[in-house]
Structure 1
Amino acid sequence: MFPLEGIRVLDLSRAISGPYVGRMLADLGAEVVKVEVPGTDITQAFGPRSHGHTGLYLQQNAGKRNVSLDLGADGGAELLCRLAERADVVIENFRPGTLDRLGVGWSVLSKRNPRLVMLSVSGFGQWGPESGRQAYAPVLHAETGLLGRQAQVDGAEPNDVVMALADSVTSLHGMVAVLSALRLRDNTGTGQYLDMSMFEAMLATDDYTPYALEGTEVFAARGSVYADAPGGPLLVSGDPKFLWHRLSGRHGLTDPDPEVSGPERFTARARVIREWVASFGSRPELIAALEAAGVAWAEIRTPATVMESPTAQAREVTAQVDDRAGGTRPVIRMPYRFSAGSCEPRGGAAFVGEHNADVLGRWLGLDAARVRELEAGGTLIPADLPVSEAK
């Protein structure tokens, strides 16, 4: 049984910060309809395509249906309003004010459907001095202190992280907000508008922010990489004082010069630990010694090798979905494991406009002839299916 079965979602978003919310809702059982104009989702440009979709687009949009609607065409805004009347949730991440100008903003949709929950994701919020700025993940990584803190710790020029962290963090907060709003609607009968800024989501998630609020700075150890470990580099995690306490207590490591204190002692102890790590004849022996001391360690994996992890294999973190060419493609599962519920990707990514007739027929009662009229008039954009998919 899927927890969100019966919930209808219109996903007007592109890239990651909105589509990720839609993907989570879809895996949990909601019917998610991606409303998309061809060429507007930039994830289709990130990497090679296989059977019409890049891997990133597939990951963010698996299990969704697709309607291709031109909001700027005659009747486009009204058709979206009618769909919103039948929806429980609308997700969008246009620049603030865009949907209002098109006539499909919250003030309009909420009048048509007072029970609607609408999530608007933006870089700096729907209002404020910077609400109109373009905001991609690297912009937020810089603006919220992540890159500056890395530069302070590493003593190097700021450099962005290799992950759209701000997008993913904001999506997770957005998901919590949507589910909370649906629960509130169940109790009150009234929908909610959710103004979710990437800026605030990053700050709320950052465990270093509380120190800055009080004018202090604390940089906890992020883990040390030991390049000379047997079998290749190994990360060991822990505050330097904690690590020394554990290793000296369990394995007898001693200060080379007990009279030295301060930074010199820190440097000397770090050297002793490195020499100790390098002294082992095999990786299993080193790992056993770290485990015996209660010290956390990690293999340094790449995206290409992470699936070799015994945890990844045992817990089946990937699922296979239809590749639309007679085979399957892998996607990462959502990490929600219920004792008596389901969470699974329910199909691959749809092609743009593939479900025009299906969704408009079930949601609005439009017959095939009316859908063809809307496609001929430009309100809907006909599906551009590969030859193997065209009927």
Structure 2
Amino acid sequence: MTDNTHSTSRTGPLAGVRILDLTSVIMGPFATQILAQLGAEVIKVETPDGDNMRHVGPMRHPGMGHIFLHANAGKRSIALDLKHPEGREAALRLAERCDVLISNVRPQALARLGLDPASVAACNPRLIHVSCCGFDQEGPDAARPAYDDLIQGATGIPWLMQRYGAPEPAYAPTTLSDRVTGLHAVYAVTAALYAREKTGQGQAIVVPMFEAMAQFILGDHMAGLTFEPPQGEAGYARLLTTHRKPYATADGMLCVLIYNDKHWRSFFAAIGEIGEAQGLAQDPRFATHGARAANIDAVYAEVARILRTRTTAQWQALLDAADVPHMPMNSPADLLTNPQLRATGFLHDSVHPTEGPMHAMAHPTRWSATPPPRTLSPAPQLGEHTRALLAEAGYTPTQIDALLTQNACHAATGEPA
């Protein structure tokens, strides 16, 4: 791995790895946030205007939006104009000292900037070049732009939402495509680092959103279309029944999943004790996993009817005693005070040097030998580390001043000279 003072002072399984992060918005920053949480040093390269998510509120101060704060903790920010020859040269000098370069700039645009895999490999043949883009570059859509909404639509999520019962096609209310693809980028980086340890060679990797989400959706919903000729239509019936949702109780809502045969036997025994079994234990529609799957609408509708007969607290006690899985229906606000998330330290309180008190998230995994750091440095101001990073790349103070004067880079106000 790269030997430098800043990266080797970190802890975690990726301690000593240095990543040049040319990503913005959500997909790429989410991926590099995870890599930072695993101990990698991440150098965030921003345009002089900054990552777009800096400007999406709510926020306390301009340029420090809430999503940016959560996706960029633990990183250092350098602001470069990559279209300026000297800005590009600075990026290449940083790349010489890095293990990974990751971007979500379209590959065609990256090539115009002279930061394509071949150009970067010329200065650092051990570098792993990861391109997160909309589409696999071997297909006809290679140069098309892609955003989360577009990829959700192209892979069938709005169709599935309407099939599920929404009044009209709708996107999932989370940046699902960005975050799923970001996870693909994380394992691509870590697997490539392992391969380089064995071969000594860097390589170029393409992580396409469309193909990543197509795998995600078709894994559940190819269904009968798996076979030729088809053995039914698309769609996993259990996920698409309109009764698959939190159940109304007598006084609230409760999430319940009676899944395997043991759960169903326990559930029937429990409701039998309160006089509501009504012969369901002998109903052939409930007898086996296959029978329940074939009659999933009726099965879930019956559960919904039964759950309305008791309060949430009564059902929680009953289902706990029967060892039937259930959880409360939480809101994001509920998660902030969740005892599990607080006890494990996943959610914790921090104080940002400019943004003040805030809630922060740790990495969700736990390691016995190389634990990731539980807290990270705060998300940086735009260009907060420009001078320091250029100095690490070998620039003198006079040269850095010249770059700033030429607008090849930007430094945060008040950054040390």
TM-score w.r.t. length of structure 2:
0.83
Structure 1 residues 174 and 326, CA gap change in structure 2 (3 angstroms): closer
Correspondence for 1:16: 26
- What are the Cα deviations for residues 309-345 of structure 1, in whole angstroms up to 9, with x where unaligned? 2212221222444412384422221212111323234
Asked whether the equivalents of residues 48 and 80 of structure 2 are also in contact (C-alpha less than 8 Å), the reply is no
Identify which of 165, 169, 192 aligns with 1:154: 165
Asked whether the equivalents of residues 306 and 312 of structure 1 are also in contact (C-alpha less than 8 Å), the reply is yes
2:252 is aligned with 1:232: yes
Offset of residue 92 of structure 1: 0.3
TM-score w.r.t. length of structure 1:
0.88
| Aligned amino acid, residue 226 of structure 2 | L
**Counterpart Cα distance in 2 of 1:82 and 1:68:** 14
- What are the Cα deviations for residues 349-378 of structure 1, in whole angstroms up to 9, with x where unaligned? 11111111111112x222222211111112
Correspondence for 1:315: 344
Correspondence for 1:81: 92
Structure 1 residues 147 and 341, CA gap change in structure 2 (3 angstroms): same
**Counterpart Cα distance in 2 of 1:259 and 1:232:** 28
Aligned length: 383
* Structure 1 range deviating more: 144-153 or 192-201: 144-153
Structure 1 residues 254 and 72, CA gap change in structure 2 (3 angstroms): same
- What are the Cα deviations for residues 67-116 of structure 1, in whole angstroms up to 9, with x where unaligned? 11111113222221111111100110012311101111111001211100
Identify which of 212, 215, 221 aligns with 1:204: 215
Asked whether the equivalents of residues 224 and 237 of structure 1 are also in contact (C-alpha less than 8 Å), the reply is no
2:42 is aligned with 1:32: yes
Structure 1 residues 268 and 318, CA gap change in structure 2 (3 angstroms): closer
**Counterpart Cα distance in 2 of 1:87 and 1:259:** 63
Identify which of 112, 122, 136 aligns with 1:111: 122
**Counterpart Cα distance in 1 of 2:330 and 2:169:** 23
- What are the Cα deviations for residues 119-162 of structure 1, in whole angstroms up to 9, with x where unaligned? 11111123421122221111111111222122212263211111
**Counterpart Cα distance in 2 of 1:119 and 1:76:** 20
| Aligned amino acid, residue 333 of structure 1 | A
Where 1:208 maps in the other structure, the secondary structure is: helix
**Counterpart Cα distance in 1 of 2:376 and 2:335:** 24
**Counterpart Cα distance in 2 of 1:270 and 1:205:** 25
**Counterpart Cα distance in 2 of 1:179 and 1:279:** 51
Structure 1 residues 79 and 291, CA gap change in structure 2 (3 angstroms): same
Correspondence for 2:238: 220
**Counterpart Cα distance in 1 of 2:136 and 2:365:** 29
| Aligned amino acid, residue 200 of structure 2 | G
Offset of residue 248 of structure 1: 2.5
**Counterpart Cα distance in 2 of 1:336 and 1:203:** 27
Asked whether the equivalents of residues 263 and 323 of structure 2 are also in contact (C-alpha less than 8 Å), the reply is no
Asked whether the equivalents of residues 221 and 237 of structure 1 are also in contact (C-alpha less than 8 Å), the reply is no
| Aligned amino acid, residue 208 of structure 1 | D
Offset of residue 188 of structure 1: 0.6
Asked whether the equivalents of residues 98 and 127 of structure 2 are also in contact (C-alpha less than 8 Å), the reply is yes
Correspondence for 1:381: 410
Asked whether the equivalents of residues 64 and 349 of structure 1 are also in contact (C-alpha less than 8 Å), the reply is yes
Correspondence for 1:254: 278
Correspondence for 1:279: 309
| Aligned amino acid, residue 193 of structure 1 | A
Where 1:300 maps in the other structure, the secondary structure is: coil
Structure 1 residues 141 and 286, CA gap change in structure 2 (3 angstroms): same
Correspondence for 1:299: 328
**Counterpart Cα distance in 2 of 1:260 and 1:34:** 59
**Counterpart Cα distance in 2 of 1:83 and 1:230:** 61
Asked whether the equivalents of residues 50 and 382 of structure 2 are also in contact (C-alpha less than 8 Å), the reply is no
Asked whether the equivalents of residues 117 and 191 of structure 1 are also in contact (C-alpha less than 8 Å), the reply is yes
Gaps of 5+ in 1: none
* Structure 1 range deviating more: 156-165 or 122-131: 122-131
Asked whether the equivalents of residues 173 and 201 of structure 1 are also in contact (C-alpha less than 8 Å), the reply is yes
Structure 1 residues 369 and 148, CA gap change in structure 2 (3 angstroms): same
Correspondence for 1:129: 140
**Counterpart Cα distance in 2 of 1:336 and 1:286:** 31
Asked whether the equivalents of residues 221 and 239 of structure 1 are also in contact (C-alpha less than 8 Å), the reply is no
Offset of residue 268 of structure 1: 7.0
**Counterpart Cα distance in 2 of 1:332 and 1:326:** 16
2:372 is aligned with 1:343: yes
For the aligned residues, what is the CA RMSD?
Answer: 2.8
**Counterpart Cα distance in 2 of 1:276 and 1:11:** 52
| Aligned amino acid, residue 362 of structure 2 | R
Offset of residue 241 of structure 1: 9.0
